[in-house]
Amino acid sequence: NAGVTQTPKFRVLKTGQSMTLLCAQDMNHEYMYWYRQDPGMGLRLIHYSVGEGTTAKGEVPDGYNVSRLKKQNFLLGLESAAPSQTSVYFCASSLHRDLEETQYFGPGTRLLVL
Amino acid sequence: GQNIDQPTEMTATEGAIVQINCTYQTSGFNGLFWYQQHAGEAPTFLSYNVLDGLEEKGRFSSFLSRSKGYSYLLLKELQMKDSASYLCAAMDSNYQLIWGAGTKLIIKP
The pLDDT value recorded for residue A64 is: 98
3-state secondary structure of A82: coil
Give pLDDT tens digits for B86-103.
Answer: 999 999 998 889 999 999
3-state secondary structure of A85: helix
Element spanning B49, H or E: strand B44-49
| Average pLDDT along chain A, 114 residues, taken 10 residues at a time | 93 97 96 95 95 95 97 97 98 83 94 98
Put simply, whether A45 touches B (Cβ < 8 Å) is yes
Closest CA to B108 of B12, B23, B19: B12
The pLDDT value recorded for residue A98 is: 73
Contacts of B97 in chain A (CB under 8 A): 43, 45, 103
Handedness of CA A10, A52, A1, B95 (dihedral sign): positive
- Note the residue count of chain A: 114
The mean pLDDT value of chain B amounts to: 96
* B2: pLDDT strictly greater than 90: no
**pLDDT mean over B51-55:** 96
The pLDDT value recorded for residue A99 is: 66
Contacts of B100 in chain A (CB under 8 A): 42
The pLDDT value recorded for residue A2 is: 82
Measure in Å the smallest separation between the Cα of A59 and chain B Cα atoms.
10
The pLDDT value recorded for residue B42 is: 95
- 8 A C-beta contact, residue A104 and residue A25: yes
